[in-house]
Amino acid sequence: MKIIMKTALLFAVLCCALLPQSSDGQMASGIAKQICCPGVGSYSKIPLKRLEYYYWTSSICPFHQVVFVTKAERHLCRNSDDEWVKKTMKAIDKKLGS
């Protein structure tokens, strides 16, 4: 029984050690960026003052879209072909100094 417990504990420690982490010890944001948007459509505009940053959906997703992240940590998919989305991305880049 002790061998099983030690093996299980070792396995749990190894699994935790292999989780992707950023340099500050938090889970890598890459996991969050693997979400896929349900489809392409026209969605409402999001006020710039509510937005923190954006990222692109993964290349494995059927629709390549922009995901805006709000200050409330909501991830909102938007069509990258929409003109307001392009302008908002540029404004965020400027705000963040990118």
Quick check: helix, strand or coil at residue 75? strand
Q: Fold for domain 23-96?
A: OB fold (Dihydrolipoamide Acetyltransferase, E2P) (2.40.50)
How far, in whole angstroms, is CA 31 from its chain's centroid?
Answer: 7
Task: Say yes or no to pLDDT of 14 above 70.
Answer: no
Q: Phi/psi of residue 13, each to 5°? A: -65, -45
18 vs 1, higher pLDDT: 1
Q: Is-contact 37 65, C-beta < 8 A?
A: yes
Q: Mind spelling out the 3-state secondary structure of 40-59?
A: CCCCCCCCHHHEEEEEECCC
Residue 7 has what pLDDT?
46
pLDDT in tens, 26-61: 444 444 446 788 877 667 899 999 999 999 998 888
Residue 2 has what pLDDT?
52
The answer to pTM > 0.75 is no
Residue percentage of the chain with pLDDT more than 70: 62
